[in-house]
């Protein structure tokens, strides 16, 4: 059975707490996979945003207590600093067979379990922003009480928004540093390429178009060619050529060390959030 067919026949009721950009992306993924709209509920403090989500996706706004009592799968799409208070407020109302899916960076399944009780199934997820385009990367870690049906459901609906891998939870901070924060590293590099193009005489529009399409094409080559990043880099680097001259500058500036330091800082901050 395909993922879409499986999701379309699901009996789970899904509740979302947090329908910002990421929350909306998750609803969109569910709807696009033919998951029944009538089985999606959400909470939202802003009335205008609630109307927008309901109108766009057919999901129903409910109160926090009703969502906690009625939902089989609850997606916690909130900031790490808000998670503890939220869990305390819904803990007593949770359906005892519910699955809590936390998207809060740094927060462990044990952190959640210590608040809501060990009988509640908990899954931890680190997504990234390309989820908004259905091109996301999500890493999931299963808590102690999660059963096969719960794990498969969460993996299937996340797969409608991109790719999914299952990892040991002690690697989640590394995932945060790589794919979770990774889009920002990419955008920062593209920003600098555009600025440099302009300084070399290109217009902003020209530099932007050249940079973006270069990144899009390069990413497609990396995904579709079956070759490693190292091989593709070597293939485009002629001895004593223009690319070699640029890469020499990167090497002399210790690009590898800079990337490692940056990702380590992101990893360490994720651990601090726990």
- C-alpha distances in angstroms, 255 versus 61, 110, 138, 197? 48, 37, 26, 20
> Above 90 in pLDDT, residue 5?
no
The fraction of the chain above a pLDDT of 70, given in percent, is: 98
DSSP state, 72? S
Using a cut of 0.75, tell me whether the model's pTM lies above it.
Answer: yes
In this chain, the answer to whether the domains covering 3-168 and 182-273 adopt an identical fold is no
For residue 263, what pLDDT is reported? 97
Q: What is the structure's pLDDT at 2?
A: 57
What pLDDT, on the 0 to 100 scale, is given for residue 197?
98
Domain ranges of the chain: 3-168, 182-273
**Other residues' Cβ atoms within 10 Å of the Cβ of residue 179:** 20
The predicted pLDDT at position 220 comes to 97
pLDDT at 162 over 90: yes
Give pLDDT tens digits for 89-141.
999 999 889 999 999 999 999 999 999 998 899 999 999 999 999 999 999 99
pLDDT tens, residue by residue, 222-270: 999 999 999 999 999 999 999 999 999 999 999 999 999 999 999 999 9
205-214, long-range: CB < 8 A, 24+ apart:
none
Domain 182-273, CATH class in plain words? mainly alpha
Report d(CA 107, CA 17) in Å as an integer: 16
Residue 191 has pLDDT above 90, yes or no: yes
Q: What is the CATH number of domain 3-168?
A: 3.40.50.720
Instruction: Name 166's bridge partners.
Output: 140
pLDDT tens digits, 27-38:
999 998 889 999
């Amino acid at each position: 059975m395909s993922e879409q067919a499986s999701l379309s026949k699901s009996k789970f009721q899904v509740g979302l707490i947090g329908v910002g950009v990421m929350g909306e992306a998750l609803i969109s993924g569910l709807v696009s996979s033919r998951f029944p709209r009538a089985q999606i509920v959400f909470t939202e403090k802003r009335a205008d945003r609630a109307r927008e989500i309901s109108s766009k996706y057919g999901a129903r706004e409910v109160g926090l207590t009703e969502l906690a009592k009625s939902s089989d799968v609850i997606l916690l799409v909130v900031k790490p600093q808000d998670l503890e208070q939220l869990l305390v407020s819904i803990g007593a109302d949770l359906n005892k067979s519910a699955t809590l899916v936390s998207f809060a960076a740094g927060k462990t399944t044990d952190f959640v379990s210590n608040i809501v009780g060990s009988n509640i199934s908990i899954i931890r997820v680190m997504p990234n922003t390309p989820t908004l385009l259905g091109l996301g990367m999500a890493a999931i870690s299963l808590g102690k009480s999660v059963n096969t049906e719960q794990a498969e459901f969460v993996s299937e609906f996340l797969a409608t928004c991109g790719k999914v891998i299952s990892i040991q939870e002690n690697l989640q901070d590394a995932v945060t540093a790589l794919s979770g924060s990774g889009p920002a590293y990419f955008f920062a590099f593209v920003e600098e390429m555009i600025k440099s193009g302009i300084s070399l005489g290109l217009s902003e529009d020209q530099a932007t178009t050249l940079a973006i399409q270069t990144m899009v094409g390069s990413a497609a080559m990396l995904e579709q060619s079956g070759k490693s990043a190292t091989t593709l880099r070597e293939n485009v680097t002629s001895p004593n050529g223009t690319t070699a001259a640029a890469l020499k500058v990167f090497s002399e500036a210790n690009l590898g060390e800079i990337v490692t330091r940056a990702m380590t800082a992101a990893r360490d901050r994720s651990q601090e959030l726990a």
